[in-house]
Amino acid sequence: MVNDILTPHNKNGCILLYFDAKILKNKLKPHLCRQIFIMKYQIRNIIFIFVLIMISQILNEEKISELHKLLTHYDKIVITCHVSPDGDAIGSSLGLYHLLSSLGKSVSIVTPDATPKSLNFLPGIKEIVAYSKYTDFGIQILANAELIFCLDFNVISRVDKMSDALSSSKAKKVLIDHHLSPGDFADLVISYPTMSSTCELLFRVICRLGLYNEINKSCAECLYTGMMTDTGNFSYNSNRADIYIIISELIKKGIDKDKIYTLAMNTSTEERLRLLGYSIYEKMKIFSDSSAALIALSQSDLVRFEYKKGDTESLVNVPLGIPEVKWSTFMREEDGYIKISLRSKGDFAVNKICEDYFNGGGHRNAAGGEFYGTMKGAIDKYVKILEAIKEQHDNK
Given the complex with Mn ion, which of 152 and 311 has the nearer CB atom?
152
Given the complex with Mn ion, which of 201 and 215 has the nearer CB atom?
201
Shortest CA distance to 53 belongs to which of 104, 19, 78, 81? 19
**Alpha carbons 245 and 213: distance in angstroms, whole number:** 16
Per CB under 5 A, does 177 bind Mn ion? Answer: no
- Give residue number: closest CB to Mn ion: 88
Given the complex with Mn ion, which of 169 and 191 has the nearer CB atom?
191
Sheet holding 106-111, edge to edge: 128-130, 106-111, 76-81, 147-151, 172-177, 188-191
CB of 246 to Mn ion, least distance (A): 15
Binding part of the chain for Mn ion, among 80-88, 99-107, 244-252, 256-264 by CB under 5 A, reads: 80-88
Shortest CA distance to 365 belongs to which of 252, 235, 244? 235
Per CB under 5 A, does 301 bind Mn ion? Answer: no
* 120-123, Cβ contacts within 8 angstroms, sequence gap of 24 or more: 121/260, 121/263, 121/264, 122/90, 122/91, 122/94, 122/221, 122/222, 122/225, 123/94, 123/98, 123/218, 123/221, 123/222
| CB 193 within 8 Å of CB 179 | yes
CB of 88 to Mn ion, least distance (A): 3
Amino acid in position 173: K
* Other Cβ atoms closer than 10 A to 336: 8
Given the complex with Mn ion, which of 279 and 341 has the nearer CB atom?
341
Given the complex with Mn ion, which of 47 and 79 has the nearer CB atom?
79
Sheet holding 37-43, edge to edge: 15-17, 46-52, 37-43
Given the complex with Mn ion, which of 179 and 339 has the nearer CB atom?
179
Given the complex with Mn ion, which of 101 and 191 has the nearer CB atom?
191
Q: Which residues contact 342 (CB under 8 A, 6 or more apart)?
A: 316, 327, 328, 329, 330, 350, 353, 354, 362, 366, 367, 368, 369
CB of 111 to Mn ion, least distance (A): 14
Binding part of the chain for Mn ion, among 69-77, 86-94, 203-211, 263-271 by CB under 5 A, reads: 86-94
Given the complex with Mn ion, which of 158 and 208 has the nearer CB atom?
158
CB of 367 to Mn ion, least distance (A): 12
Q: Mark 260-279 with x for binding to Mn ion (rule: CB under 5 A) and - for no binding.
A: --------------------
Q: Mark 138-157 with x for binding to Mn ion (rule: CB under 5 A) and - for no binding.
A: --------------x-----
How many residues interact with Mn ion (rule CB under 5 A)?
Answer: 4
Q: Which of residues 88-127 bind Mn ion (CB under 5 A)?
A: 88
CB of 226 to Mn ion, least distance (A): 7
Q: CA dihedral in degrees (61, 67, 73, 75; nearest 10)?
A: -150
CB of 194 to Mn ion, least distance (A): 13
**Alpha carbons 114 and 108: distance in angstroms, whole number:** 15
Binding part of the chain for Mn ion, among 108-116, 192-200, 272-280, 290-298 by CB under 5 A, reads: 192-200
Q: How far is CA 30 from CA 33, 38, 72, 386, in A?
A: 5, 17, 19, 53
Q: How do 292-297 and 285-287 pair as beta strands?
A: antiparallel
Per CB under 5 A, does 230 bind Mn ion? Answer: yes
Given the complex with Mn ion, which of 48 and 234 has the nearer CB atom?
234
CB of 28 to Mn ion, least distance (A): 32
CB of 197 to Mn ion, least distance (A): 5
Which residues are at the interface with Mn ion (CB under 5 A)?
88, 152, 198, 230
